[in-house]
Amino acid sequence: MTKPMKIAIASGKGGTGKTFISTNLYNLLQKKGLNVALVDCDAEEPNARLFLTEGILKSSREVNQKVPVIDESKCTYCGKCAEYCNYNAIFFLKEPKIVNVLEEICHGCGACSVACSYGAITEKDDLLGHVSNFEFSNKSALIESRTRVGVYSSVNVLKAAIKEASGFDLVLFDAPPGIGCPFIQTVAQADYVVLVTEPTPYGLSDLKQSIETLKGMDKPYGVIVNRAGLGNDVVYDYLKKENIPLLMSIPFDKNIAVSYSKGELLTDQDSKWKEKFSELFNKVKEEYGNSNN
Amino acid sequence: MKIAITSEGNSLDSKMDSRFGRCAYFAIYDTNTKTTDFFENPAKDSPEGAGPKAVEFIASKGVKKVVAGEFGGKAKALLEKLNIEMQQEKDKTISEIIKQL
- The residues spanned by each domain of chain A are 5-59+128-290, 72-119
As a CATH number, domain A72-119 is 3.30.70.20
Residues in chain B: 101
Q: Which residue of A has its CA nearest to B53?
A: A88
What residues in A contact B47, CB-CB < 8 Å? 86-87
Q: What is the pLDDT of residues A75-94, one digit of tens each?
A: 999 999 999 999 999 999 99
- Asked whether residue A5 carries a pLDDT value surpassing 80, the answer given is yes
Per-residue confidence at A72, pLDDT binned at 50, 70, 90?
very high
- Counting residues of chain A whose pLDDT is more than 90, the rounded percentage is 90
Do A88 and B55 count as a contact with CB atoms less than 8 A apart?
no
Predicted local confidence at residue A2, as pLDDT: 67
Do B53 and A88 count as a contact with CB atoms less than 8 A apart?
yes
Nearest to B63 by CA among B75, B55, B71: B55
Question: Is the four-CA dihedral B39, B42, B45, B49 of positive or negative sign?
Answer: negative
Alpha-carbon span B85 to B73, nearest angstrom = 15
User: How close does chain A come to B30, measured CA to CA in Å?
Assistant: 19
User: How close does chain B come to A89, measured CA to CA in Å?
Assistant: 7
Q: What is the pLDDT of residues A152-173, one digit of tens each?
A: 889 999 999 999 999 999 999 9
Using left for φ > 0, alpha for ψ between -120 and 50, and beta otherwise, residue B34 falls in left
> Residue ranges per domain, chain B?
2-100
Predicted local confidence at residue A151, as pLDDT: 87
Using left for φ > 0, alpha for ψ between -120 and 50, and beta otherwise, residue A281 falls in alpha
- Asked whether residue A193 carries a pLDDT value surpassing 90, the answer given is yes
Q: What is the pLDDT of residues A202-248, one digit of tens each?
A: 999 999 999 999 999 999 999 999 999 999 999 999 999 999 999 99
* CATH class (in words) of the domain with range A5-59+128-290: alpha beta
What average pLDDT does the segment A123-151 reach?
Answer: 95
Do A105 and B47 count as a contact with CB atoms less than 8 A apart?
no
Q: Which residue of B has its CA nearest to A95?
A: B60
- Asked whether residue A290 carries a pLDDT value surpassing 90, the answer given is no
Which residues 105-124 of A have a C-beta within 8 angstroms of B?
105
Predicted local confidence at residue A55, as pLDDT: 96
User: How close does chain A come to B91, measured CA to CA in Å?
Assistant: 29
Q: What is the pLDDT of residues A263-280, one digit of tens each?
A: 999 999 999 999 999 999
Alpha-carbon span A267 to A272, nearest angstrom = 8
Per-residue confidence at A291, pLDDT binned at 50, 70, 90?
confident
Per-residue confidence at A292, pLDDT binned at 50, 70, 90?
low
Nearest to A199 by CA among A250, A222, A233: A233
Do B74 and A104 count as a contact with CB atoms less than 8 A apart?
yes
Q: What are the start-end ranges of the H helices in chain A?
A: 18-31, 80-84, 111-115, 155-164, 181-187, 201-217, 234-242, 254-261, 266-269, 271-290
Q: Which residue of A has its CA nearest to B79?
A: A91
- Asked whether residue A1 carries a pLDDT value surpassing 50, the answer given is no
What residues in A contact B52, CB-CB < 8 Å? 88, 91, 102, 105
Burial zone of B82 (CB within 10 Å; 0-12 exposed, 13-18 middle, 19+ buried):
middle
Position B63: which residue type? V
- Asked whether residue B77 carries a pLDDT value surpassing 70, the answer given is yes
Do A5-59+128-290 and A72-119 come out as alike in CATH topology?
Answer: no
- Asked whether residue A293 carries a pLDDT value surpassing 80, the answer given is no
Nearest to A195 by CA among A217, A216, A225: A225
Q: What is the pLDDT of residues A7-44, one digit of tens each?
A: 999 998 889 999 999 999 999 999 999 999 999 999 99
Predicted local confidence at residue B50, as pLDDT: 95
- Asked whether residue B55 carries a pLDDT value surpassing 70, the answer given is yes
What average pLDDT does the segment A256-267 reach?
Answer: 95
| Among A88, A93, A95, beta carbon nearest to B49 | A88
Interface test with A, best of B2, B22, B46, B53 (most A CBs within 10 A): B53
* CATH class (in words) of the domain with range B2-100: alpha beta
| Among A89, A93, A94, beta carbon nearest to B49 | A89
